[in-house]
A and B are shown apart, each in its own frame.
Chain A
Amino acid sequence: MTHALEVAGVSHAFGRVQALRDVSFTVPQGRFVALLGPNGAGKTTLFSLITRLYDSTSGTIRVAGHDARRQPGDALARLGVVFQSRALDLDLTLRQNLLYHAALHGIPRRIALPRIDEVAALVGLEDKVGTRVSTLSGGQQRRAEIARALLHRPELLLLDEATVGLDVRARADVVALVRQLVAGGVSTLWATHVLDEILPEDEVVVLHQGAVLAQGRATDLAGAAPLADAFLRLTREAA
């Protein structure tokens, strides 16, 4: 069975700065994997490589079996992304934003319109479809971005620090929404530096200074200690 995401031996450098070193891990179909790492660990670089903002120096990335370098169109078509920085047109309504995204995936209006209602309902924004995005709260905008990422029915959902800048309530809502999507069978890679977003049974990949320090179930990594302690121990050992 092909994995939703397969990262194998990926390295990347910006000039002399080695941002990623031989990173390998997989996101199995229908599973939730947390990519845990402090700021500057290389999470955003890895996301940029998966979304083909640039190519990796070495290694391969496959999305649902499609090589991101050799078959970029096929790989990107199967990918839904929520970037760390907000990326909605604030002047436009939610529906207009989603229609634009649908067009970028070649989905015609007549198919897109009912699907927009569907994904808006999924993220709890069904009554905001005709609203200007600028009037939505931070949490609602995040959920709108998740709706957008789901619009073309991707096989893998990527979220880069999706809860940054949200208040406690909105953060909990976004986390709950993603958990619910995973329960519905959406394969998800969730990049974060916030430990309490990770549940004991979650699959975790710990990224530190551009390299994978550890991977496995959160409870197995942590042992008897809280995950935060295990994380600090791992990163201290590496430093």
Chain B
Amino acid sequence: MTDITLHRRGPGAYATAFLGIAWRELLRFVHQRERFIAALVRPLVWLFIFAAGFRAVLGLSIIPPYQTYILYEVYVVPGLCAMIQLFNGMQSSLSMVYDRETGAMRTLLVSPFPRWFLLGSKLLAGVFVSVLQVYAFLAIAWAWGIEPPVWGFLAVLPALVLSGLMLGALGLLISSTIRQLENFAGVMNFVIFPMFFASTALYPLWRLRESSTLLHDIALFNPFTHAVELIRFALYLRFEPLAFAVVTGCTLLFFGAAVFMYDPSKGLWRKRKA
């Protein structure tokens, strides 16, 4: 009864598989409306409450890419965009750990397509969802009076895709190392919070140096900082080569490591029962 023709995996079959994986991510996303709302409420709370409260406390000098004095709310918006993507990346990694516990992960991995392709498709699908969330947030921020140049909304798209890929690949890598869902709380404490707070999402680098050179150095080496700066500069129609290089490099590194970890003969899976 075997249908041999289907075993030839040409470009069309790859496209079918990718669209199928993306379509499932989107369907799941649509079905989990709470997830969308939660992803949106989090940065809005930061914007409406935290940033508004700190407006008076934190004075900002003119730093690139801004050409004038800006309000603190304006400063934090790119960081909050990156935060959405950070949470999204960790969320999809959480769902992969969950999938592995339920067996849905195995369904994906018994597909005849190469693993790098399956993981890459899942990653790209997750990035698509995170970009949608960021645009919803930017629209609300616009209504709140945070108005970057109109073309910035277009220019930020490639930056969002790239930063989404980096954070998603990090989530993928983490999902390959976590064995159980319970361990995920550790990810919050050891990955999300340090990455977010020790970065330029909430305060510029020169401010950090004033209080602690160590913190400044940590933030400088934090890939999340570069994701934030890439988004910030793109939103104001500027290209930041260092951030681009770091984010691209980290994406390749994290994704390569994740593919290695999910490889049947190399990764950690072979050493333990999954």
Chain A interface residues toward B at CB < 8 A? 14-15, 19, 44-45, 48, 51-55, 64, 69, 72-79, 81, 83-89, 91-92, 96, 99-109, 152-155, 184-186
Contacts and interface: CB of A to CB of B under 8 A. Distances in A.
Given A86-B102, A104-B108, A153-B3, A55 B270 contact: yes
Tell which of A15, A77, A84, A96 has the most Cβ of chain B within 10 Å. A77
B112 A105 contact: yes
A183 to B, nearest CB: 13
Contacts of A48: 274
Nearest to B9: A106
Contact of A105 (B6, B23, B101, B270): B6
A72 B118 CA distance: 14
A95 to B, nearest CB: 12
A84 B109 CA distance: 15
Contact of B112 (A76, A83, A184): A76
Given A52-B264, A77-B6, A100-B23, 4 more contacts: A19-B273, A75-B112, A76-B112, A104-B20
Contact of A96 (B16, B17, B27, B118): B27
A87 B106 contact: yes
Secondary structure class of chain B's binding surface, majority of residues: helix
Interface string B198-231: 0000000000000000000000000000000000
Contacts of A102: 20
Given A15-B272, A154-B2, A103 B103 contact: no
A160 B160 CA distance: 42
Contacts of B21: 100, 103-104
A115 to B, nearest CB: 9
B117 to A, nearest CB: 10
11 contacts: A15-B271, A48-B274, A52-B264, A54-B267, A54-B274, A96-B27, A103-B17, A106-B14, A152-B3, A152-B6, A153-B2
Main secondary structure of the interface of A (DSSP, over half): loop
Nearest to B106: A83
Contact of B102 (A14, A51, A76, A87): A87
Contacts of B153: none
B2 A92 contact: no
Contacts of B270: 14, 54-55
A149 to B, nearest CB: 10
Nearest to A82: B103
Interface in B239-271: 264-265, 267, 269-271
A235 to B, nearest CB: 21
Nearest to A49: B264
Given A54-B264, A101-B107, A77 B112 contact: yes
B269 to A, nearest CB: 5
B67 to A, nearest CB: 47
Contacts of A79: 110
B158 interface: no
B273 A77 contact: no
A92 B27 contact: yes
B112 A53 contact: no
A89 B28 contact: yes
Contacts of B269: 53-54
Interface in B44-60: none
Given A77-B112, A83-B103, A85-B103, A106 B2 contact: no
Contacts of B38: none
Nearest to A101: B107
A100 B110 contact: no
A102 B273 CA distance: 28
Q: Which 9 A-B pairs have the closest CB atoms?
A: A103-B20, A106-B13, A87-B103, A85-B103, A104-B111, A55-B265, A77-B112, A54-B270, A76-B112
A67 to B, nearest CB: 13
A104 B17 contact: yes
B122 to A, nearest CB: 11
A166 B99 CA distance: 22
Contacts of B14: 106
Contacts of A73: 9, 112-114
B64 to A, nearest CB: 45
Contacts of B31: 91-92
A106 B16 contact: yes
Contacts of A74: 7, 112
A107 B27 contact: no
Contact of A52 (B28, B102, B110, B272): B110
